[in-house]
């Protein structure tokens, strides 16, 4: 007989190897048993906690959510196993089935069913059940009376099983991480990848040489990532479609090949997340390959009573906003000359110039024209992030020169309004000087005309002491960035970035 304490250890270990086994065969995909639990955790987390995690924890918040999901999934399997082991014990006592057989059948069966319910994938279910069976049988209670049924022998087997589970976990982690997603990184022929290279050169020519700040085009791996799930969808371009539905004259569906065969543009566009801190770095610029949404909208001839749309995605994300904004939007399938990477919405995402990142829907699958307004994913959680971005000037670097001069610099962004001027004060806001700005990226190559950030720098020779540096931008309409300080939740951060420098 197994003791209750040991039974829970075996149940837990079997749960652990089940989750590990599923990861080994699935990698970080929807078929990984943690993926649906993660989605439930993310959606069940109270709005205040989500806002706090985004504002204060950033990436750490995502990691916490993910670890919670992994732990919950292990507990789910462990609970099922525990019940299975209890039943196995009862069976061994009543009917003459060898206990190892009933353990194998019950732990294997419950793991298989649970994994199937979570993942819907046969491979992932077998990947979970097989190691759980091996582990449970290895540590299982021996038949009463047999020599390896002694307490010592059971304890030894449980210890060995623990070591085995840890080793298997490490191996599965390595295997699952290597299961690369088979995304084709070549842009389709029609996309003229050469255009991206030309735009890259153009941006490099305009980039100011400032230590400690990024260039005018963010690298794909440096481009910030914000999305609701820790397991991003994997969509094959060949299977992807976009439907235009709802209050339209004619609903229709386009395939990837049809889309990229359209009026392809290559251009810069900057994205900024409404949840970022005032001087945060959820702000990046890339060269996108895209087609205008307007062509699709004309074909659909939208009606509807609210002049608004709901855009939906493969990760069950949805955002609602005015058709007028969508009309000026783009469907992007390339980023910096490569096909759109998985984490940024492969194969196709929306770009809505001038607006906060959240309506730039990734993995987009449906545009539904609505009759009346309904809240989108983030608005249900209290955010107001569908509108135009706030103006901001970042203070991202302070460089003390050998000659005693000090350089401060960063990026400035004002959505479609564009950046006209950046002003710097080195005396806490009493007097202001214009900073040097990078040449604007040429508007004919910007998706959304002025919707690309600019770099700024200011160098001066401060006397010894403390200096409060303040920076503010003036947008293309001549409007000064508001001084009033607001935290990101719910409508985006506001205020002037300042930093005290001691020389
Ligand atoms: N499908 C989907 N699209 C999405 C999101 C998401 O969670 N799911 N997050 C949005 C948010 S809040 C932002 S700021 C941008 C970020 O885009 P990026 O990850 O490519 O930088 O994507 C938006 N599009
Ligand atoms: Mo965002």
pLDDT of residue 182: 61
pLDDT of residue 146: 62
Ligand 1 atom index nearest CA of 344: 20
Residue nearest to atom 20 of ligand 1 (CA): 344
Residue 171 CA: distances (Å) to CA of 99, 123, 165, 177: 29, 17, 10, 10
Residue nearest to atom 2 of ligand 1 (CA): 362
228 lines ligand 1 (CB under 6 A): yes
Tokens of 59: 């990436």
Neighbours of 3 (CB within 10 A): 13
Residue 164 CA: distances (Å) to CA of 105, 135, 333: 21, 8, 44
Architecture of domain 392-502: Sandwich (2.60)
pLDDT of residue 149: 62
pLDDT of residue 189: 77
350 lines ligand 1 (CB under 6 A): no
Residues 389 and 493 sit within 8 Å (Cβ to Cβ)? no
d(C-alpha 319, C-alpha 227), whole Å: 13
* Residue ranges of domains in the chain: 4-178, 190-381, 392-502
CB neighbour class for 129 (10 Å; exposed up to 12, middle 13-18, buried from 19): buried
User: What is the CATH T-level fold of the domain 190-381, as seen in this structure?
Assistant: Sulfite Oxidase; Chain A, domain 2 (3.90.420)
d(C-alpha 236, C-alpha 129), whole Å: 28
Residue nearest to atom 10 of ligand 1 (CA): 358
Which ligand is closest to the CA of 378, given by its number?
1
| Pairing label, strands 330-335, 283-292 | antiparallel
pLDDT of residue 334: 96
d(C-alpha 277, C-alpha 270), whole Å: 17
Report the separation in Å between the CA atom of 353 and the middle of ligand 2, taken as the mean of its atom positions.
14
pTM reported for the whole predicted model:
0.91
Residues, the chain: 503
Residues 383 and 359 sit within 8 Å (Cβ to Cβ)? no
pLDDT of residue 127: 98
pLDDT of residue 57: 84
The mean pLDDT values, 10 residues at a time, for the chain of 503 residues are 79 97 94 95 89 82 91 97 90 79 93 97 97 91 61 83 95 89 74 87 96 96 93 92 96 96 96 96 97 96 96 97 98 96 96 98 98 97 97 98 96 98 98 98 96 98 97 98 96 98 93
């Amino acid at each position: 007989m197994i003791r209750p304490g040991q039974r829970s250890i075996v149940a837990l270990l079997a749960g652990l190897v089940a989750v590990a086994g599923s990861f080994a065969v699935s990698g970080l995909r929807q078929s990984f048993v943690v993926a649906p639990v993660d989605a439930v955790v993310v959606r069940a987390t109270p709005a205040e906690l989500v806002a706090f995690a985004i504002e204060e924890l950033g990436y750490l918040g995502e990691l916490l959510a993910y670890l919670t999901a992994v732990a919950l999934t292990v507990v789910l399997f462990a609970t099922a196993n525990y019940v299975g082991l209890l039943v196995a014990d009862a069976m061994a006592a009543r009917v003459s089935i060898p206990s190892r057989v009933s353990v194998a059948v019950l732990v294997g069966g419950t793991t298989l069913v649970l994994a199937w319910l979570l993942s819907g994938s046969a491979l992932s279910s077998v990947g979970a059940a097989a190691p759980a069976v091996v582990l449970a049988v290895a540590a299982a209670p021996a038949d009463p009376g047999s020599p390896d049924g002694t307490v010592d022998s059971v304890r030894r087997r449980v210890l060995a099983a623990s070591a085995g589970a840890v080793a298997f976990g490490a191996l599965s982690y390595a295997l699952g991480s290597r299961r690369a997603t088979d995304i084709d990184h070549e842009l389709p022929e029609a996309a003229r990848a050469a255009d991206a290279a030309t735009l890259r050169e153009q941006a490099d020519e305009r980039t100011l040489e400032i230590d400690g700040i990024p260039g005018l085009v963010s690298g794909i791996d440096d481009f910030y990532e914000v999305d609701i799930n820790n397991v991003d969808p994997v969509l094959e371009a060949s299977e992807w479609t976009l439907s235009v539905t709802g209050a339209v004259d004619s609903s229709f569906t386009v395939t990837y090949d049809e889309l990229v065969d359209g009026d392809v543009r290559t251009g810069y566009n900057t994205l900024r997340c409404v949840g970022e801190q005032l001087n945060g770095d959820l702000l990046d610029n890339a060269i996108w390959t895209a087609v205008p949404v307007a062509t699709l909208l004309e074909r659909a001839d939208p009606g509807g009573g609210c002049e608004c749309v709901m855009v939906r995605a493969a990760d069950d994300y949805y955002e609602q906003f005015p058709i007028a904004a969508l009309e000026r939007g783009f469907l992007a399938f390339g980023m910096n000359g490569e096909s759109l990477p998985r984490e940024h919405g492969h194969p196709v995402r929306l770009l809505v110039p001038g607006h906060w990142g959240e309506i730039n829907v990734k993995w987009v699958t449906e545009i539904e024209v609505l009759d009346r307004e309904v809240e989108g994913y983030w608005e249900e959680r209290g955010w107001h992030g569908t509108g135009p971005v706030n103006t901001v000037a970042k203070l991202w670097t302070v460089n003390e020169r050998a000659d005693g001069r000090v350089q401060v610099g960063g990026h400035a962004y004002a959505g479609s309004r564009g950046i006209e001027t950046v002003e710097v004060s080195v005396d806490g806001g009493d007097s202001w000087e214009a900073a040097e700005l990078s040449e604007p990226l040429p508007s004919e190559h910007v998706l959304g005309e002025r919707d690309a950030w600019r770099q700024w720098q200011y160098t001066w020779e401060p006397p010894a002491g403390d200096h409060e540096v303040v920076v503010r931008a003036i947008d293309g309409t001549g409007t000064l960035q508001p001084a009033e300080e607001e935290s990101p939740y719910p409508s985006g951060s506001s205020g002037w970035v300042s930093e005290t420098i001691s020389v």
